[in-house]
Structure 1
Amino acid sequence: MNNKARDNKGYRDGYTKGFDTGYADGYRRAQSESAVHKTAYFEGTSIIIPTYNQLNYLKECIDSIFQYTNSSFELIIVDNASEDGTAEYLQSCKGIRYRINPENLGFSGAVNQGLRMARGTTLLILNNDAIVTTHWLDNLLHCLNSNSKFGIVGPVTNYISGEQLIDVSYTNMAEMQEFSQVYNHSNAQRWYVTSRLTGFCMLFRRKDFFRLGYFDEGFEIGNCEDDDYGLRARLLGMQLVIAKDTFIHHYGSVSMKSLNSRFEQVYANNLSFYSEKWSDPHGMLSLDWQRNANLQTIDSYPTCVMVQGTGEETYWIQNGSRYPISGDPWLQAVRVSQVDLSNWHLCEEISAEEVNRRIQSVYHSSLLDGDMEGKLVKMKDGSVYQCKENKMHRFINRQTLAVWQLESYQPWHVNEYEKKKYKEGAPIITPPVIKANNI
């Protein structure tokens, strides 16, 4: 190795080490000063690949990325405790960043770790059994950057469920690449707004990630978490787009198929979790509040609740702000991510006694007291709303009330005439399950 190459390698290693150290410190400081949004990022794409026990597919995927990606990128591999030599392979690789987990955290857990490590201004989730093609990332970026309403963009492929599936006739990888060279020509007329994108390849902006937050780790292993993420994006006013001018190959669910007899049970559990979480997801998307919305996830969280991030410090949430609490109030804090936490404006510290006083004022005082902020009201059909910023926000189901520790409070009954005095705001949803202690 000559001196110049040695200097360049030292610079890259030093930069990566410094970035990782600074980013970790930034997340810790985010509890008090929103430092999550202040980290310096590079103008490029962080490609995040979760992997489990499919080393040959992973190698082929990585090779294709280095061969066919022209845009600036970094490659992040998160291994979910593979037993096939994946860890040793990653340790021998050059030009990638990786994390090796001691246990399988599932697709969402691995993706979240990758998002936590990422330092690009755009973020891309890619399955380990995908083979990318000529101009693939350039085309996806062109689509994403063409319209601020485009929130998440995905390509078409040969093996998938839904509208991203196209017919192909190739029989080997050489023919596949020849096919893609003819197919992958950027064309805005072939961009299609859809109601669903699958998670095998999803591209989105970092600034929209700050609005949207992390994947929900309540889903086991894999399946349905991409539907959940896409729905949450649509609730915030983002559009899901299929770039039908971009094809990549997908072998298809190789990690999930490796579960064998467990697959059906995992899929059933995830469907149940999704159903219990959302109840009527498509009904929510037709409400007036959602049209032309430019929201962030915390707009769909309640007010007058206690939350907690990665540390032990708890916060009182009210009027779009978070107040650090000194002492030990009796209300249990709800775990939220550091991204969500940082989106609330940080205010001065308040005492536990003051929090208890506010709880009494909000949840145990009459509607006749005047201030409606935080009050819970119940309609004749049983639906429960909270008044927040002069709008009525409906809890999407009883589970949501319970997750936010509000189920024990008795809401006040109001009629439709009284409710119509207020505009309808974004529905109140549950925060994604976050299991890691640094997210």
Structure 2
Amino acid sequence: MNRGKKRMLTKGRAATAQAKRSYNESYNRGYNQGYDLGHDQGYRNGWQAGATSCSQAFQGTSIIIVTTNDQREHLQNCIESIYQYTPEPFEIIIIDNASTDDTESYLKSLTGKIRFKVFKSNLGFAGGTNQGLRMARGTTLLFLNNDTIVTKNWLSNMLACLHSNEKFGLVGPTTNYISGEQLVPTTYTSTEEMHRFAEQINRSNPSQWQVTGRLTGFCVLMRREMFEALGYLDEGFEIGNCEDDDYGFRARLMGYELVIAKDTFIHHVGSVSIKALGERFEEVYGKNLDFYSKKWGESHSLLAEVQRKLNGALATMNHFYPTGVVVRGVLPQPYWMENGIKRPIEGLSEALASSRVSQVDLRSWSLGDPIQIQEVLYRLEQLNSTATSAAPLQEGELAETPDHTVYQMKEGKMRRLNHWALTHWLLLERGKRQISYSELGSYEQGLPIIAPAVIVANNV
């Protein structure tokens, strides 16, 4: 072959590679623009490929990976292992939390079953994962740390476990580097040895499925229906740590079980993002522990109380929310929420205080007829004025016992609220009827009222 033909072949291959990269960049840009424009207002004005892709669910698993600085090599190893060891249908969604290395250019070079979104500020693990959940189309959803390497049969074994029991809410594997019951002692010293080690474990075996009280968030699988009932991760937890404990606790409150698939092993480098915090780690961890405590109080007794009241039944987060409150989702439109029905408020309601909920929470309530702002203000006034009444407690009214514990009457039952729930639902300043313990005892007590996950980003 002469030099001219060789140069033409080389140029042709370069042009083909550039075309693939351009297609991938256009696809991702189109998808993100299509989704952003279509969210809650129909998929319009987006690029056809992106809009069409995001509107069609598929029978497979959406693998959501959050990444940030100095982790590109880990991310590449993780992605390559997914392609090598995952014959099941899947898509990979990468959320880049403001990396300043070459992660963005690496993502733009990828083709195949990958979509990504790059953010200019760090949303934290919870915020980044929530963005991935928003983009996900799979019938099953999986959080996966970017510093993991998956192994043969990893996903099939976890799926078998998840689908074996409707009460299995969240499923996680074992690994070499983690806290808690998912830790397995290992001695391998290379990736090749690790895969041979994993082959001895990764043989589907229901006797190896263990119900646990805690799953760490390095790898968590759930059904889409579970996500619709449970909602997003709580973005009140900074950067990382404790948001996975919170998520698992909420799942258990709903009556679901957390399960370790001990017939599944994947490799975990471990705590790469957290270690990058350096001296800030203790500060961030302390804040997250404090937030968890304010949100849940004595969590063990709370869980035991809820489990007694559910008596084996399953609930959704909606069952733990109040009545007679004003809420809004990602859009400015406020709703009057009463007994599981949301009614769009019509009129000059811009100045009306409202509690922020996610789109998942908002969708969980049935849509009712519109209600005028004047009627909402009247109902709020009535709920405040009944605080001095001697009549039986009315639906939506608040009551306070001598120890300052606050309850709301909802569906004929007294529902307890802690300070965090009162604050989120804007009920701290609402009038409260003072009642004695004997009066409290004359009413049946229902499930406690809790606050939903904090949503910081404006589009979930």
Is the shorter-chain TM-score for this pair beyond 0.5, marking a shared fold? yes
CA distance in structure 1 between the aligned counterparts of 2:138 and 2:28, rounded to whole angstroms? 14
Q: Which amino acid aligns with 1:290?
A: L
Alignment of 1:287-306 (within 5 A): 287=305, 288-306=308-326
Q: Which of these residues, 312, 329, 332, is aligned with residue 309 of structure 1?
A: 329
CA distance in structure 2 between the aligned counterparts of 1:250 and 1:291, rounded to whole angstroms? 37
CA distance in structure 2 between the aligned counterparts of 1:300 and 1:145, rounded to whole angstroms? 26
Alignment of 1:154-173 (within 5 A): 154-173=172-191
Structure 1 match to 2:449 = 428
Paired-residue identity, %: 50
Q: Residue 304 of structure 2 aligns to a residue in which SS?
A: coil
CA distance in structure 2 between the aligned counterparts of 1:337 and 1:382, rounded to whole angstroms? 30
Q: Residue 76 of structure 1 aligns to a residue in which SS?
A: strand
CA distance in structure 2 between the aligned counterparts of 1:270 and 1:118, rounded to whole angstroms? 27
Which of 379-388 and 351-360 deviates more? Answer: 379-388
Q: List per-residue Cα deviations over 1:330-372 (Å, max 9, x = no partner).
A: 6510100011001111111111110011112223215544562
Structure 1 match to 2:267 = 249
1:387/1:148 CA distance change after superposition, 3 Å: same
Whichever of the two has the greater Rg, that structure is: 2
Structure 1 match to 2:88 = 71
1:286/1:100 CA distance change after superposition, 3 Å: same
CA distance in structure 2 between the aligned counterparts of 1:286 and 1:193, rounded to whole angstroms? 16
> What's the offset of the Cα at 1:189?
0.7
1:15/1:408 CA distance change after superposition, 3 Å: closer
Aligned residues: 426
Alignment of 1:312-331 (within 5 A): 312-328=332-348, 331=352
Structure 2 match to 1:347 = 368
CA contact (8 A) 1:143 1:188 kept: yes
Which fold has the larger relative contact order, with Cα–Cα distance below 8 Å and residues 6 or more apart in sequence? 1
1:248/1:256 CA distance change after superposition, 3 Å: same
Unmatched 5+ stretches in structure 2: 1-11, 13-18, 44-53
CA distance in structure 2 between the aligned counterparts of 1:259 and 1:14, rounded to whole angstroms? 34
RMSD value, Cα: 2.5
Structure 1 match to 2:67 = 51
Alignment of 1:333-412 (within 5 A): 333-365=354-386, 366=388, 368-370=390-392, 372-395=394-417, 397-412=418-433
Structure 1 match to 2:57 = 41
CA distance in structure 2 between the aligned counterparts of 1:51 and 1:18, rounded to whole angstroms? 20
CA distance in structure 2 between the aligned counterparts of 1:345 and 1:15, rounded to whole angstroms? 33
CA contact (8 A) 2:139 2:224 kept: yes
Q: Residue 364 of structure 1 aligns to a residue in which SS?
A: helix
Structure 2 match to 1:33 = none
Q: Residue 181 of structure 2 aligns to a residue in which SS?
A: coil
> What's the offset of the Cα at 1:400?
1.7
CA distance in structure 2 between the aligned counterparts of 1:21 and 1:141, rounded to whole angstroms? 30
Q: Under a length normalisation based on structure 2, what TM-score does the superposition of the two structures give? A: 0.87
Matched, 1:91 2:108: yes
Q: Under a length normalisation based on structure 1, what TM-score does the superposition of the two structures give? A: 0.91
Matched, 1:144 2:168: no
